[in-house]
């Protein structure tokens, strides 16, 4: 929490009450008085930002499998991050998803269902670190609910992991895998944190505390912490530092494990060691580039794999713990700097947060946005929310956030957009909304009053407002911002829609150029430029909002594998237009295929003639679904 923030929040609370009363009697006057100089505090804004980002993350949660698509340990971390969000803000809307995962995924599963490894039951597998991640997730669920089943599961997992603590090699440490091939930093950092968390929640415990102390002492003397105070990845077969990369999550777990053990023991030597690790992390030639936490794979000539995408968020989770524990302004300033940088530089109009927190990108290695990067960056936004939960907050989103308009040759095109405003707190808010559009465009209504009546923080209230954006035929191709400013007593929030004006369709998949056209990604995946595929029962849908004066249209897909392509004019009734009937898994059928979309051109309410194109898997049982590389279209007006 920044210095003076508590005093400012008390002043804001008093201001909220008076301004709300004013709004009821004199709405126009209230709007003018709603944002006097210095009235905006950091806390409510930080809470609103975290709520928007958390909602985006949970939109990727798959309720049937009860996880996030295609990654087992990453799903544990994402759910733990949502637990952090709920604990920090008081929002409890996602407790059901935590329990859904617990009940559905605690059993035994063969390889390939939820994880590449067989799952042995109780969230354990041959990947010992994966098991530990789930143990920490269920302790977080216990902290939120008090339900002992979550704590009992964490104990079960920890007992399983303890079977891989081995003093016969390197004098101690937990093996990384069931085959006992590697002792590394992440597995042992997790073990220190997990055992200390169990001690701090089990009354009268000495067993887990003893194990945590032993693990900490072993880790400190293992050699994995190098002379610069940075944590290398693990040990060689000769039990020496292997000199492999200093990943942020290894550094973060060393900090986090020490902090939890310090809470258990109040040993000043432990806290001193934690501070040395923290100072090293943000020191010269470490993990920070131009003030931004940066992984080595964040370089613009590299791409982080699905594991590396979440490393920085794990670091920030335990850095937040460091700030809360030490109240050191240097650590707090670094945390706030990351949150501000992410929000200002690494966020698109849809509220998605990317892997490079600086926002840097390149054609060959673009900044990646997916649920893993969302969970990672969300941790920094959560940490920026004060531990003294703000009394009220206001946020807003626009849907669609990245719409496409293909203007008619003459006249105007109407773009329907919905504003969703959400609020927490205990006092009614009269929210003034005002819309900013590019020159020559118009918005209806341009301004409006939207009453919100929150009832605490556990379940934010929301209200929607339909907007109509009128786009002239002369609008130039490219991205144009529509902004809606929300203002209430002592609160302000701005949300945007990134409107793409396009007279033609031509994009590579797996890039930011694809995003505005991607209507529904469902469970599809993209692991690089020119690559989007849908395996099994997954699919992905593009929406092409052809102009109202379109007479004919075709689309050409560069596509391979076992594809099924369907077209629709309403996203409900589908016609198969392309299908691979052979089980081809080697890409040998890759070619350009053209589809006539003219039969699907039907006028919609907004005057456009949208066509939906869905790609799925013609052989859903073998995992080689349709893969699209490039999309172009031709239209006749």
Q: pLDDT digit string (tens) for 600-631?
A: 999 998 889 999 999 999 999 988 999 999 99
Spatial distance between the Cα atoms of 601 and 66, rounded to a whole number of angstroms: 38
Confidence (pLDDT) at 3: 36
DSSP secondary structure of 481-530: EEEEEEEETTEEEEEEEEEEE-SSEEEETTSTTTGGGEEE-TT-B--SSS
Bridging pattern class, strands 442-444 and 393-399:
unpaired
pLDDT in tens, 530-540: 889 999 989 99
Could you give the CA distance from residue 131 to residue 7 in angstroms, rounded to a whole number? 43
Q: Report the pLDDT value the prediction gives residue 17, as an integer from 0 to 100.
A: 38
Q: At residue 5, does pLDDT exceed 70?
A: no
Where b means 16+ CB within 10 Å and e means fewer, 65-76 reads: bbbbbbbbbbbb
pLDDT band, very low/low/confident/very high, at 430 (cuts 50, 70, 90): very high
Among 236-245, 469-478, 521-530, whose mean pLDDT is lowest? 521-530
Q: Cα(367)–Cα(508) distance, rounded to whole angstroms?
A: 15
Q: What is the pLDDT of residues 32-89, one digit of tens each?
A: 223 233 333 489 999 999 999 999 999 999 999 899 977 899 999 999 999 999 999 9
What CA–CA distances, in Å, run from 356 to 29, 51, 510?
43, 21, 16
pLDDT at 470 over 90: yes
Residue of 489, 423, 493 lying closest to 89 (CA atoms): 423
Contact 569, 611 (CB under 8 A): yes
pLDDT higher than threshold 50 for residue 494: yes
- Long-range contact set of residues 30-36: C-beta below 8 Å, sequence gap at least 24: 30/430, 30/489, 31/432, 31/449, 31/487, 34/432, 34/487, 34/488, 34/489, 34/490, 34/491, 34/492, 35/487, 35/490, 35/492
Which pLDDT score is estimated for 467? 98
**All structural domains of the chain:** 393-501 (2.60.40.2310), 505-636 (2.60.120.380)
The answer to whether residues 620 and 612 touch, using CB atoms and an 8 Å cutoff, is no
Distance CA 299, CA 498 (A): 26
Give mean pLDDT, residues 131-155: 98
Indicate if the pLDDT at residue 13 is higher than 60: no
Q: Which of 428, 596, 402 is nearest to 480 (CA)?
A: 402
Say whether pLDDT at 158 is over 70.
yes
Q: Rounded distance, CA 523 to CA 464, Å? A: 27
pLDDT of residue 23: 34
pLDDT tens readout for residues 160-188: 999 999 999 999 999 999 999 999 999 99
User: What is the number of H-type helices and E-type strands within the chain?
Assistant: 14, 23
Lowest mean pLDDT among 26-40, 202-216, 368-382, 452-466: 26-40
Mean pLDDT taken over the chain? 92
User: What pLDDT, on a 0 to 100 scale, did the predictor assign at position 526?
Assistant: 84
């Amino acid at each position: 929490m920044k210095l003076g923030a508590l005093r400012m929040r008390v002043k804001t609370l008093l201001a909220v009450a008076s301004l709300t009363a004013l709004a009821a009697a004199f709405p126009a006057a209230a709007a003018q008085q709603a944002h006097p100089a210095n009235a905006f505090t950091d806390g409510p804004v930080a809470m609103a930002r975290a709520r928007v980002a958390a909602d985006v993350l949970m939109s990727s949660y798959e309720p049937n499998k009860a996880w996030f698509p295609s990654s087992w340990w990453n799903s544990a971390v994402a759910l733990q991050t949502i637990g952090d969000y709920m604990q920090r803000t008081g929002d409890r809307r996602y407790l059901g998803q935590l329990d859904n995962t617990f009940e559905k995924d605690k059993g035994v599963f063969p390889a390939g269902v939820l994880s590449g490894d067989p799952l042995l039951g109780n969230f354990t597998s041959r990947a010992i670190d994966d098991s530990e991640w789930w143990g920490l997730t269920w302790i977080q669920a216990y902290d939120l609910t008090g339900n002992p089943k979550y704590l009992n599961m964490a104990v079960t997992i920890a007992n399983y992991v303890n079977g891989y603590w081995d003093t016969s090699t390197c004098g101690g440490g937990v093996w990384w895998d069931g085959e006992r091939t590697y002792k590394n930093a992440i597995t042992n950092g997790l073990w220190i944190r997990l055992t200390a968390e169990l001690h701090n929640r089990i009354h009268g415990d000495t067993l887990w505390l003893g194990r945590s102390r032993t693990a900490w002492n072993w880790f400190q003397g293992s050699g994995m912490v190098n002379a610069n105070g940075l944590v290398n990845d693990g040990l060689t077969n000769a039990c020496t530092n292997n000199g492999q990369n200093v990943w942020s999550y290894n550094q973060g777990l060393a900090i986090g494990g020490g902090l939890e053990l310090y809470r258990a023991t109040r040993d000043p030597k432990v806290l001193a060691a934690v501070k040395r690790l923290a100072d090293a992390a943000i020191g010269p030639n470490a993990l920070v580039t131009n003030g931004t936490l940066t992984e080595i794979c964040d370089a613009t000539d590299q791409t982080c794999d699905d594991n590396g995408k979440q490393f920085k968020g794990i670091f920030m989770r335990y850095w937040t713990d460091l700030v809360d524990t030490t109240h050191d302004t240097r650590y707090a300033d670094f945390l706030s700097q990351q949150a501000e940088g992410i929000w200002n530089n690494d966020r698109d109009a849809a509220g998605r947060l990317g892997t490079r927190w600086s926002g840097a990108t390149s054609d060959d290695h673009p900044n990646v946005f997916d649920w893993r990067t969302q969970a990672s960056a969300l941790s920094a936004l959560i940490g920026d929310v004060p531990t003294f939960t703000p009394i009220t907050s206001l946020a807003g989103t626009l849907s669609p956030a990245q719409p496409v308009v293909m203007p008619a040759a003459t006249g105007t095109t109407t773009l329907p957009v919905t504003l969703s405003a959400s609020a927490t707190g205990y006092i009614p808010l009269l929210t003034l909304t005002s819309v900013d559009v590019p020159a020559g465009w118009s918005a209806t209504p341009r301004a409006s009053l939207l009453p919100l009546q929150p009832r605490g923080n556990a379940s934010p209230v929301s209200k929607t407002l339909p907007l109509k954006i009128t786009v002239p035929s002369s609008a130039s191709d490219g991205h144009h911002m529509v902004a809606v400013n929300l203002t209430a007593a002592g609160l302000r929030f701005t949300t945007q829609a990134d409107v793409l004006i396009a007279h033609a369709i031509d994009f590579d998949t797996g890039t930011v150029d694809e995003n505005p056209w991607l209507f529904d990604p469902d469970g599809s995946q993209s692991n690089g430029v020119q690559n989007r595929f849908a395996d099994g029962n997954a699919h992905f849908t593009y929406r092409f909002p052809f102009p109202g004066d379109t007479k004919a249209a075709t689309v050409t897909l560069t596509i391979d594998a076992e594809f099924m392509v369907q077209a629709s004019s309403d996203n409900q009734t589908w016609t198969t237009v392309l299908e691979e009937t052979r089980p081809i898994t080697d890409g040998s059928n890759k070619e350009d295929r053209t589809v006539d979309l003219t039969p699907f051109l039907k006028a919609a309410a907004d005057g456009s003639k949208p066509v939906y194109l869905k790609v799925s898997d013609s052989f859903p049982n073998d995992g080689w679904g349709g893969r699209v590389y490039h999309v172009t279209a031709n239209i006749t007006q």
